[in-house]
Structure 1
């Protein structure tokens, strides 16, 4: 006698709830602009860094863009502390998404990823190592959350996932935090950091795009 597919039913229910929750967050939740966000988080005094990291991690789990969080971090804490705290938030949120995806399973997450599913699955099937996931982090038009969920669902190992999250997220986070630092306290140092970090992001993005195009056309 076949066992009823309770696991599949449960995953479908979780999928439905997750999709509805993410759609609601994406369509209805707007983070405040960075000045208001900086003021609100800063009002917690010594605990502001804990509030910032916790909020950043929660945002990173959802489809809500993390851009304003990184900019607010640079404005509130300065470039280097803001970068460290932003990276902690990104890594924490990424691990939460990774763990949730492992619970949901491959088929469920493939439905959740929607238009990102083909890109994520193709890359991870080719190589689940650090380079593949780092390229996904740097590819234009691919936000963080599909990579987190795809890596968890399609069997990427935890250590390469963590390494790629650090390596692939660092350039973008550095450039966004630098914007906040310049907006809050412009100086020769912060402007230099801003220019260098964005040049790095542009260079890495261009290299990643060229390699991805070459692989798709069979010339890489």
Structure 2
């Protein structure tokens, strides 16, 4: 009798254990999905993926400039329904954005002088230059620095990187004063280096003053091309450009001889 009871109790216990095992939910695929998400995020946020994104963004910006020609809109007084200080602010912001898309700054500086005169045009051009430089520097620092820094090999590249990283303000000030270095190239070269934001932006603002002033004044006085002010502005544009071309030629000739 006791054996029967024991056997029945054991059977009941086994049955309850089987029922418990049957009711336990199967493990969810959450760890697998989490691991896949982590791997995907690593791939998407890798240095080369970010560099590819930067290249795509710059290519899209350059293509949009070729298609829509925003510099012509700026030169024609865009937007026509806005005037006064608001127009100056909008021009400065648009100036900064289109310089990231490789629109030539001399055209924009001339347009600033023609639209707003010497003083307001100079303020708009300086603000737009700083905005565009800061935006390009941020893009290059976030999306390109980590991938490109290991590629800085060779004597010239390492020397330039050392100069920018150790003497950021002085180096960028010289680059901005020298008319032969493209604006966008200096922005991304500084972004790849270890130069700080503040020295970069301050040197950009101060170093761009002579060139911007000359172009803005020339644009403001374009209606009187024989005036002394216009002729002085044109000379201030031409002489540094000629000096830069001579220095670049001498440097190239010196390197070839070596």
Smaller-chain TM-score bracket: 0.7 to 0.9
Offset, 1:102:
1.5
Find the aligned partners of 2:82 and 2:157 in 1 and give their Cα distance: 39
Residue 37 of structure 1: which of 64, 75, 78 is its match? 75
Q: Check if 1:125 corresponds to 2:162.
A: yes
Partner of 2:110: 71
Offset, 1:26:
5.1
Q: Check if 1:81 corresponds to 2:120.
A: yes
Q: Is the 8 A contact 1:42 1:76 kept in 2?
A: no
- Summarize the Cα distance change of 1:145–1:202 in structure 2 as closer, same or farther, 3 Å threshold: closer
Q: Is the 8 A contact 1:73 1:83 kept in 2?
A: yes
Q: Is the 8 A contact 1:41 1:48 kept in 2?
A: yes
Find the aligned partners of 1:54 and 1:138 in 2 and give their Cα distance: 23
Residue 191 of structure 1: which of 230, 236, 239 is its match? 230
Q: Check if 1:178 corresponds to 2:217.
A: yes
- Summarize the Cα distance change of 1:109–1:204 in structure 2 as closer, same or farther, 3 Å threshold: farther
Q: Secondary structure at the match of 1:105?
A: helix
Q: Is the 8 A contact 1:82 1:177 kept in 2?
A: yes
Q: Secondary structure at the match of 2:104?
A: coil
Offset, 1:209:
4.3
In the alignment of these two chains, the number of paired residues is: 209
In our comparison, the structure showing a higher alpha carbon Rg is 2
Q: Secondary structure at the match of 1:40?
A: coil
Q: Secondary structure at the match of 2:236?
A: helix
Offset, 1:144:
1.0
Q: Is the 8 A contact 1:175 1:194 kept in 2?
A: yes
Partner of 1:113: none
Partner of 1:159: 198
Q: Is the 8 A contact 2:71 2:108 kept in 1?
A: no
User: After alignment, is 181-190 or 160-169 more displaced?
Assistant: 181-190
Q: Check if 1:28 corresponds to 2:67.
A: yes
Offset, 1:81:
2.0
Q: Secondary structure at the match of 2:77?
A: helix
Q: Is the 8 A contact 2:164 2:194 kept in 1?
A: no
* TM-score, structure 1 normalization: 0.74
Offset, 1:74:
0.4
Partner of 1:91: 130
Find the aligned partners of 2:226 and 2:215 in 1 and give their Cα distance: 16
Ranges in structure 1 where 5+ consecutive residues have no aligned partner: 111-117
* TM-score, structure 2 normalization: 0.65
Find the aligned partners of 1:93 and 1:177 in 2 and give their Cα distance: 17
Q: Check if 1:136 corresponds to 2:175.
A: yes
Residue 57 of structure 1: which of 96, 114, 123 is its match? 96
Q: Is the 8 A contact 2:161 2:193 kept in 1?
A: yes
- Summarize the Cα distance change of 1:24–1:98 in structure 2 as closer, same or farther, 3 Å threshold: same
